[in-house]
Amino acid sequence: METQQTSASVHAASRRLSFDTAAAWALALTGALAAIAFIPFGPASFVYTKTFILSLGGLIALALYILARLTRGNLILPPVPLLGALWLVPIAYVLSTLFSGGDMAAAFFGTTFESDTAGFIILLAVLASVAALAFRRTEQYVSFFGIATAAYGLVVLAQAGFLIASFAVPDVVAATANLVGSFADLGLFVGLGIALALVTLRLLDLSSRQELVLYVGGGVGLCILALVNSALVWSLIALVAFGLFIEAIMRRSSAAVETDFDADETPPSMLSVSESIPSKTLVPSLVTLVVALFFMIGGATVGNALSEAFGTNFIDVRPSWQSTFDIGGASYSASPLFGSGPNTFAQEWVKFRDRSLNDTIFWTIDFASGIGWIPTSFVSTGAAGALAWVAFITLFFLFGLRFLLFRAPADAYLRFVAVASFVASVYLFIISIFTVPGPVILALGFLFIGIFVSSMRFSETRREWGIVFARNPRVGFVIVFLATLLLLGSVGAVYVVVERYLADVSYNRATTMLSSGNLDGADAALDRSILFAPSDRAYRAAAASGIARLNRIASDATLPADTARSLFQQALSGSVEAAITATRLGPDAYSNWSMLGDVYRTVVPIGIEGAYENAKTAYERAVLLNPTSPVIPLALAELEIARGDTAAADTHLREAIALKQNYTQAIFRLSQLAASTGKAREALEAAEAAAYFAPDDPAVLFQVGILRSGVGDTDGAIAALARAVEVNPSFANARFFLAVAYAITGRYEDAAGQLEAISVLSPENEAAVAADLAVLRQEENPFPLSRFGALGIPQVPVSESSGGE
């Protein structure tokens, strides 16, 4: 008897400590850690840190599962068709990577394992597959949902702390700060938690303490959702609550009817839980439904008022459905089967976007995704990806609904696991169509897909398939060989993931140093980033550092001529090489070619042979890749001005203004060019004619003010610029030039008022005008002739905060 007990104890311990159990725990902890982990300091990227945790944890779980199979000598699978359907999308991504014609490394890894890369899609499939294979016992599901509940609790408690801290120290903690990702991601995460809490309360017989925890967590979650104020999340929560409420009512009504018929034989007090639904199971769904409907109806009023009161307003900007379809149509016309390639939506966006977007405040944004994550995948992977998604989702619904309706597990807890994971999976599919979730939300969704597939092995007809390959040498050799290769591949993948994460950390450190003027430190950090994982953005930053070094050397009068010449040639050579390498690594990214043009343009004024031709060629390639950007024609105009061709510069400036009518930098440069060529009067007449037809257009009024100043009509300039500021109070450049005009006429107090208004628009503008504002407060003119350009006014020192740019 003692021997049997000891044997049983050893067997139980081996099950608890097995590689299978370790793989299941690794998956659960990976999802939880990714949700709550953050690094509050240093150059580590917040989102990429979470992706790194997901990648590392997923690969570790895969390795543990492979070791479990190698040590046990068997392979047990849940229903194979749905598990196979899970890999249709990754296969489509791999095919698109191979045959779309784009850069394979960028398509697979991207820059930071973006969610539309083939590598990230494979990671999601690995997470789901290991979950489907490793979860086979009830205690594993209990551990998973327990860890998920703890992670949800930490997120909502931390959010309450962030909100309190945002009132106490608003300069340190923002009200939208959270542990998950963007504030929109927080809403998606909390919405998923509330949906699962409702399912738990409905399907499980819980203790009073467990119910209290879910009630408190759900209540706090509803408060957070009120601050996020997402109509999509409210709609999904309302649907879940409505479905559970109707299901409870139907069961309650059915039990009541049976009680009426059998009243003499079965007293109501003797009915089981499954036959008589307690009233408390109706309350959570009903309350949640009422709250959700309230905010769905009053989201534009009550919801916005709450967001403003707590400072949680945020902008979730994405292309519209029409814009996404337009980009997709243009992409399919070039490559219908495999699309433009994974992670190339941004390139397709700048190539085919509507020019009218230049008239909005979002004209500088190169959107990396469309209206939703799955529609974006349709664009990047073509018909192959679209068919794969449709097939996977269709099969998931067909197999899932048939399983839940006709073959659900008899065990109450396993039935809960199936329903909860199915609800979470459907939640993921819907939000992925209408939004672009962050990596944590996507990973959690695919984990639940895997959990649901694993639960199907417990159907009433028990549909598992397995093989004990340890007893079959031939089959065993093949499986062990493949499993060993997969294990070694996962180890190599871990190495790649760590390398790319360290490269990202070094790159972020370099950009911080570059912005502060620490060129030596930036170059060293960029060298480390390139050593870990070469990328076009790192080489582009190295080229920008080279341009800054060229300007520093040229302005340093203390350097001996020979030393300056040698340093200049060295910096120029390194900058050109870095920019060329960037174009080689990212030949379809217009920013790489624009940077190469900037490098050559820097040395055009000093007559470097071939600089003009190379710069023009690079800019023209950038125009082909981004034909609607007004920034590139402006750069071409600056190139022609540096060469001395004013006619060509005038043409390019007008092209820039035609693309964006309120492009103040181009307007200002055109005015300077007109004045320098003796055509200021003609330019002024044209601008005033435009103002006659558009009297309330701040860009036209700004141009009129500039040109009037250029011909000496200071009072007329004041009138036009004051009107531009009246129409658009955030027009920083108009305010600045109005301040200059006021100072010229001795109206120092009015000039100071304009600079004060500029300083509140942004910290950068506050720093830019601080010195001039101090001089104006001393009743002096801070704008000496040495700061004046061709029109008799200073260069633009401030940046716009809105549409006046």
The CA distance from 25 to 433, in Å, is 30
β-bridge partners, 794: 788
Check residue 423 and give its pLDDT. Answer: 96
Burial class (CB in 10 A: 0-12, 13-18, 19+), 289: buried
The CA distance from 514 to 521, in Å, is 8
**CA 49 distance to own-chain centroid:** 13
β-bridge partners, 465: 77
Extents of the domains making up the chain: 183-315, 661-805
Unique residue bearing structure tokens 């912005």: 515
Burial 663-699 (b: 16+ CB within 10 A, else e): bbbbbbbbbbbbbeeeebeebbeebbebbeeeeebbb
Unique residue bearing structure tokens 């105009």: 637
Angle between the 590-602 and 561-585 helix axes, to the nearest 10 degrees?
A: 160
Q: At 249, list the tokens.
A: 């009512």
**Vertex 658: Cα angle to 655 and 660 (nearest 5):** 110
Phi and psi dihedrals of 21, rounded to 5? Answer: -65, -40
Beta carbons of 635 and 598 less than 8 angstroms apart: yes
Check residue 4 and give its pLDDT. Answer: 40
Q: At 147, list the tokens.
A: 């860890």
Q: Looking at beta carbons, which pairs linking 159-166 to residues 24 or more positions away fall under 8 Å?
A: 159/186, 159/224, 160/220, 163/227, 163/310, 163/312, 166/310, 166/311
The CA distance from 236 to 441, in Å, is 15
Unique residue bearing structure tokens 């902890």: 29
β-bridge partners, 788: 794
Q: How many CA atoms lie within 13 A of 638 on its CB side?
A: 20
Phi and psi dihedrals of 788, rounded to 5? Answer: -90, 145
Q: For 56-98, write each residue's pLDDT tens digit.
A: 999 999 999 988 888 888 788 888 888 889 999 999 999 999 9
Q: Which residues contact 260 (CB under 8 A, 6 or more apart)?
A: none
Helix (H) or strand (E) holding 227: helix 208-228
Burial class (CB in 10 A: 0-12, 13-18, 19+), 43: middle
Check residue 2 and give its pLDDT. Answer: 38
SS (H, E, C) 743-805: HHCCCHHHHHHHHHHHHCCCHHHHHHHHHHHHHHCCCCCCCCHHHECCCCCECCCCCCCCCCC
The CA distance from 116 to 89, in Å, is 11
Check residue 497 and give its pLDDT. Answer: 87
List helix spans (H) across 516-589.
Answer: 519-532, 536-555, 561-585
Three-state secondary-structure class, residue 86:
coil
* DSSP 8-state secondary structure symbol assigned to residue 469: G
What DSSP string runs through 295-319? HHHHIIIIIHHHHHHHT--------
Check residue 435 and give its pLDDT. Answer: 95
Q: For 361-409, write each residue's pLDDT tens digit.
A: 888 888 999 999 999 999 999 999 999 999 999 999 999 999 998 888 8
Check residue 599 and give its pLDDT. Answer: 94
The CA distance from 331 to 11, in Å, is 58
The CA distance from 222 to 231, in Å, is 13
Phi and psi dihedrals of 466, rounded to 5? Answer: -150, 165
Angle between the 664-676 and 732-744 helix axes, to the nearest 10 degrees?
A: 40
What DSSP string runs through 45-60? -HHHHHHHHHHHHHHH
Beta carbons of 89 and 125 less than 8 angstroms apart: yes
The CA distance from 117 to 129, in Å, is 18
List helix spans (H) across 275-411.
Answer: 283-298, 304-310, 321-334, 345-352, 373-406
In the predicted model, residues of the chain with pLDDT beneath 50 are: 1-16, 255-278, 786-793, 801-805
Fold for domain 661-805? Answer: 1.25.40
For CA atoms 647, 653, 656, 657, give the dihedral sign: negative
